[in-house]
Structure 1
Amino acid sequence: MTLPGTYLITPDQIPDERGAFYEAFRSDVLESVTGAAFRPRQINYSVSRRHTLRGIHSVRIPPGQAKYVTCVRGALRDLVVDLRIGSPTFGEHQVSELDASSGRSVYVPEGVGHGFLALTDDACICYVVSTAYVPGTQIDINPLDPDLALPWNCPETPLISDKDAKAPTVAEAVRADLLPRFSKAGTP
């Protein structure tokens, strides 16, 4: 993908008359591509109704948190935003359409924000994450930040949590020194 360290993974499916089989996640393959160790420490699911907007979320460093994101039911518009100060793509985003039938996943490295818009009712997203939840380390950016101008393309007013609606803009997060720094190696 265009943001350093982010990847869109499309598995090879083996179809037959019963359906299909594919490997949804292989840590050895992911590590060989990214050059970074990824050891799952927690798995989360989020179920949303159509037009639900969640994000943009990341985790302060330390502890940091990489994510391997997959839509396991329905469909969603997935966005990653580079929140790493000093990155050549700081503030830029990448859009991917994820759905259960394709098995596509997005790898989100530490320091990159993530959010999604549910395109179907009962959409379910799975997050395999590299660190367990640590209270007080969450970075939330308002997904409707006008400076980011993210292309959610929601046909109606999105359903958004109070926490996300009241989250700071990227500019406010920079002023509050909430965002990680980018290193030349491509990781915070």
Structure 2
Amino acid sequence: MKITETPLKGCYILEPITYEDERGVFYESYHKDRFERSIGGKVDFVQDNVSISKKGVLRGLHYQKRDYAQAKLVHVVKGEVLDVIVDIRKGSPSFGKHFKMKLSDENRTSIFIPKGMAHGFLALTDHVIFSYKCDAIYNPKSEAGILYNDPVLDINWEMAEDDLILSEKDLKLPLLKDLKL
């Protein structure tokens, strides 16, 4: 597995070694020891989540606050997404910056998102199955987010605004400048 740090410190891209033959495909999507050695720290994943989305669904930008902050390892099981991470760690040299990349069942790439970052994704195909491991149990009272089209973030979601499908809750998220971090 190749593990590469993104421009957001502590956020990593994981590219598996894939074995293909006439039977199909095999790859290791996560190996705790190799992963922790590569990032130089321990991560204890305690909750796995799966979301299923149709094309145009944008989920995010979400995070958990303070004591309930979550590090995540995200991966696409089926389909393709545009995955976006925003650094919201006070004092970070990349505060307010974002990183994005396409994740799919074809590239089999995962992203590790450390605590202190907001995350969202846009489903680019008709049927997306998105999986993520979390290192803390979800707490609904700690749920927070940033508006997906915050002009300061200047995220190009690579899809026409009229084609995006968002929840009412995500449409009411605050701007980065209004967060109480």
TM-score (norm 1): 0.90
Residue-by-residue CA offset, 1:43-83 (whole Å, 9 max, x unaligned): 10111110111111111121221000000010000011101
Structure 1 SS opposite 2:169: helix
Give the length in aligned residue pairs: 175
Q: 2:147 aligns with which of 142, 149, 161?
A: 142
Residue 159 of structure 2 is aligned to residue 163 of structure 1: no
Which residue of structure 1 lines up, in the alignment, with residue 47 of structure 2?
42
Which residue of structure 1 lines up, in the alignment, with residue 26 of structure 2?
21
Which residue of structure 2 lines up, in the alignment, with residue 183 of structure 1?
none
Structure 1 SS opposite 2:140: coil
Distance 2:171 2:161 in 1: 16
Matched to 2:41, the amino acid is A
Structure 2 SS opposite 1:43: strand
Distance 2:19 2:65 in 1: 39
Distance 1:147 1:97 in 2: 22
Distance 1:85 1:130 in 2: 21
Preserved contact between residue 39 and residue 130 of structure 1 (Cα < 8 Å)? yes
Structure 2 SS opposite 1:136: helix
Distance 1:28 1:139 in 2: 31
Q: After TM superposition, what 4+ stretches of structure 1 lie above 6 angstroms from structure 2?
A: none
Structure 1 gap ranges (5+): 180-188
Q: CA deviation at 1:143?
A: 0.7
Matched to 1:32, the amino acid is R
Q: Percent identity?
A: 37
Which residue of structure 1 lines up, in the alignment, with residue 108 of structure 2?
103
Which residue of structure 2 lines up, in the alignment, with residue 182 of structure 1?
none
Q: CA deviation at 1:156?
A: 4.7
**Root-mean-square deviation (Å):** 1.0
Which residue of structure 2 lines up, in the alignment, with residue 184 of structure 1?
none
